[in-house]
Amino acid sequence: MKRRHQRTALALLAAVGTVGGTLTLSPAPAAAAGTAAKIAGTGKVVTGGTPLNARSAPSAGSPRIGTIRNGATVSIVCRIAGQFISGTVTNTGYWDRLADNSYISDAYVQRGSFTIPKCSAAAPVSAVPLPPVSGTWMLPVAAGLVSGFRTTGRPAHDGVDLGATRNTPIRAATAGTVIRVVCNVSKGSCDVDGSSALRGCGWYVEVQHEGNLVTRYCHMVRRPAVTVGQSVPRGAILGYVGTSGASSGPHLHFEVHAGAPATRENAVDPIAFFKTRGLSIR
């Protein structure tokens, strides 16, 4: 799945030009007049060969404003939570703001142990698009695939991970009744960011649909927006993307079950499930 995600996160472009050994980027948003970025430290871009996209905001769906070659040194100002990315260095939801006010995923940056301060504000992000719809079904978020169903590397992964950014609305895939609203974490609270050292789905919701189907939506940023017993139409907002529970960055873990209650035995591949309904997860 890493290769698939890299095609989303990286531009398959020719090598970036250099002048006198200095990296050249397309024009980036200017910093505020009269201010200069304070550099926290430097990092090395590691992509395995493909140029890395520099974005106007911390998500792979925001406008590309330049590319950075593999092996280049970048000056990091601060970092901010954004779209979860599975990269060559790590898997993370953090993005680095560079000195030219562009953003790159920290998943492709090799750096020392210096502390990167939190960014005070992100560049504007375009409005969240409505997920694709087909008949009575829709995707829960409009986001690319980060990790698939029961892959070789993750055979116990009973759903798919979709790389939506923090606070993206999570929508009911089709009409149904909310049957579970749960905080599921091995230690601590679901009202804080989780980590890969924990176990559990964090804040999650299950909705039961016609035909005894169940969908599950995990790692919400805060208590879900719905309650048990509530009837929801297709597209109803159930909660918002976060990184609670066993999660190393913001994303939606989404499951489909051919039976109630939802168990590991009745989990089905959401990619194949939605394909038969005219919808593509990729």
Closest CA to 74 of 43, 51, 48, 28: 43
Instruction: Name the average pLDDT for the chain.
Output: 83
pLDDT digits (tens, 9 = 90+) for 167-216: 899 999 999 999 999 999 999 999 999 998 999 999 999 999 999 999 99
CB atoms within 10 A of CB 160: 24
Residues 256 and 204: their CA atoms lie apart, in Å, by 13
Write out the two tokens for 258.
């051919």
pTM of the model: 0.58
Check: CB of residue 55 under 8 Å from CB of residue 62.
yes
What structural domains does the chain harbor? 2-14+21-111 (2.30.30.40), 133-275 (2.70.70.10)
pLDDT digits (tens, 9 = 90+) for 50-76: 999 888 888 887 777 778 889 988 889
Strand partners, 205: 181, 217
